[in-house]
Chains A and B, each alone.
Chain A
Amino acid sequence: NAGVTQTPKFRVLKTGQSMTLLCAQDMNHEYMYWYRQDPGMGLRLIHYSVGEGTTAKGEVPDGYNVSRLKKQNFLLGLESAAPSQTSVYFCASSLRVNSPLHFGNGTRLTVT
């Protein structure tokens, strides 16, 4: 049982490049979340999904897009990366709305 797996673990991008971060969970969880962690700001919610085929904006959605075509996968896309998107990105999932959250181990993204 792998839990929540984030791919890749590290990435360096140049300004203007695009990329997709993959979050995969094998626990049949309905709810999935993308957070970014920045020094002194804690974790802030980017986008979330309450089930397959649904997505919604969180606190800091600008510059990101997401898709949840399959229940087990939640993709986070950066269409044109900016240095302000340098951060550590965490994915989390939960079975039901009030079930415990399971976190991935994060992706460190640097945009130069």
Chain B
Amino acid sequence: AQTVTQSQPEMSVQEAETVTLSCTYDTSESDYYLFWYKQPPSRQMILVIRQEAYKQQNATENRFSVNFQKAAKSFSLKISDSQLGDAAMYFCAYRSLGSSNTGKLIFGQGTTLQVKP
């Protein structure tokens, strides 16, 4: 069974600085997606970024980028030029692309990010 681990329950960053959130996962599959979701206090689940495992190039979305290390099964999220609106809970998630795929996401425990003005 696949697992996702976020070992940082809480992180803080100064506004305009850069912060990296860590995520590791365990799987025996070779084909899968990885995601980062943002959950602000409104509880809304917002997709931040997605990475296909077969792509070697790291995904980027504006100020958000990932460091995907497939062999190490590591998927960290870097937020550059942090803004007050980035304060939220961040979840790392895994989605299988195998033959028994049901589309479900497997989530990590979450990291609460505080942004200090």
- Whether A98 contacts B104 in the complex (CB less than 8 A), given A40-B9, A42-B109, A43-B91, comes out as no
Which of A17-25, A64-72, A75-83, A100-108 forms contacts with chain B? A100-108
Whether B44 pairs with A97 at a CB distance below 8 angstroms is no
CA of A58 to CA of B110, assembled, Å:
20
Q: How far is the CB of A67 from the nearest CB of chain B, in Å?
A: 18
Q: How large is the interface on A (under 10, 10 to 19, 20 to 34, 35 or more residues)?
A: 20 to 34
Q: Which residue of A lies closest to B103 (CB)?
A: A97
CA of A31 to CA of B101, assembled, Å:
12
B43 sits at the interface (CB 8 A) = yes
CA of A97 to CA of B33, assembled, Å:
12
A48: chain B residues at CB < 8 Å are: 102-104
Q: How far is the CB of A8 from the nearest CB of chain B, in Å?
A: 14
Q: How far is the CB of A109 from the nearest CB of chain B, in Å?
A: 13
Interface of B, secondary structure class, is: loop
**Taking beta carbons and an 8 Å cutoff, which residues of B are in contact with A?**
4, 6, 9, 33, 42-45, 47, 91, 95, 97, 101-110
**Taking beta carbons and an 8 Å cutoff, which residues of A are in contact with B?**
31, 33, 35, 40-45, 48, 50, 56, 58, 88, 90, 92, 94, 96-101, 103, 105-106
What are 9 A-to-B residue pairs whose CB atoms are below 8 Å?
Answer: A33-B104, A42-B107, A43-B107, A92-B105, A98-B101, A99-B103, A100-B47, A103-B45, A105-B43
Given A41-B109, A42-B6, A90-B45, 19 other A-B contacts at CB below 8 A? A31-B103, A33-B105, A35-B107, A40-B109, A40-B110, A42-B91, A43-B105, A44-B107, A48-B103, A56-B102, A92-B45, A92-B105, A96-B103, A97-B101, A98-B97, A98-B103, A99-B103, A101-B105, A106-B43
